[in-house]
Amino acid sequence: MHPQIDQIFDNAETRYLKPEELQCVTQYVESLPERLEVYRHLRDRELEMMQAVADQLQAQMPQEKQDNLERCIKNALLMLRHCSMAMLLNDESLVKDRFLSWVSQGVKVYNTEKIDTLLHRLLNQQLKQSLSPSQMSLLAPMLTLAQTALLSASTSVNGAALG
C-alpha cells in the first residue's frame, strides 16, 4: 500500500487523521476504481500487447540473438507487471525494491541497452494505444521510473567498459 497511507493507518490507534492525511486517503480511495480498471485492462490484454511488441522488436532487430530478445521481453513483461501493481497500490517502492533491485543486474551483465531502448519505446507506444490518456497518466510514473533506471544501469556499465 502507498507508504504514506500505510503510515497513516499505523497511527489510527492513537488519534484521528489530520486534514492533510485524510486528504491523502481520500485521493487514493477516489482514484482506486480507475486504478483497478487499468490494472484489469493490463492483466487481460497483457499477452496481446506483449506479442505485438515482441513481433515488432524481432522485425526491427533481426540480427539480434534470440536469447537476448527473449530475455529482454521477459524483463519487460516483469516490469509491466510490477509497474501495474505499483500503480494499483500507488507505491513506487514495489518498482524500486522488488523489481529494479534484481533485474538491473541482468541488464548490466547481458549488455542489452540497444534492445531495451527499442523495446521500451515499442511497449510505451502499445500502452498509449491501449490506454486512455488519464489511464496512461496513472501508469506512466512507474514505467518511467523502471525504464529510466534500467537504461541508466546499462549505460553506466557500458560507459565504464568504454572508458
Q: Give CA–CA dist 122/128, Å, rounded.
A: 10
Give how far the C-alpha of residue 83 lies from the chain's centroid of Cα atoms, to the nearest Å.
3
Indicate whether 110 belongs to any domain.
yes
Supply the pLDDT for residue 22. 86
Residue 37's CATH number: 1.10.490.20
Q: Give CA–CA dist 70/58, Å, rounded.
A: 10
Q: Give CA–CA dist 128/70, Å, rounded.
A: 23
Is 77 in contact with 124 (CB distance < 8 Å)? no
Residues of the chain whose pLDDT is less than 70? 1-4, 106-107, 153-163
Kindly report, residue by residue over 113-122, the tens digit of the pLDDT. Answer: 899 999 999 9
Kindly report, residue by residue over 151-162, the tens digit of the pLDDT. Answer: 886 665 444 443
Indicate whether 122 belongs to any domain.
yes
Q: How far apart are the first and last CA of the chain?
A: 42
Indicate whether 16 belongs to any domain.
no
Indicate whether 105 belongs to any domain.
yes
Q: How many domains does the chain have?
A: 1
Indicate whether 18 belongs to any domain.
no
Q: Give CA–CA dist 114/8, Å, rounded.
A: 43
Supply the pLDDT for residue 7. 73
SS3 22: helix
Query: The dihedral of CA 43, 47, 51, 57: what is its sign?
Result: positive
Indicate whether 84 belongs to any domain.
yes
Supply the pLDDT for residue 154. 64
Indicate whether 15 belongs to any domain.
no
Indicate whether 71 belongs to any domain.
yes
Give the other-Cβ count within 10 Å of 145's Cβ: 17
Q: Which domain holds residue 157?
A: 3-7+23-162
The DSSP H or E segment spanning 97 is none
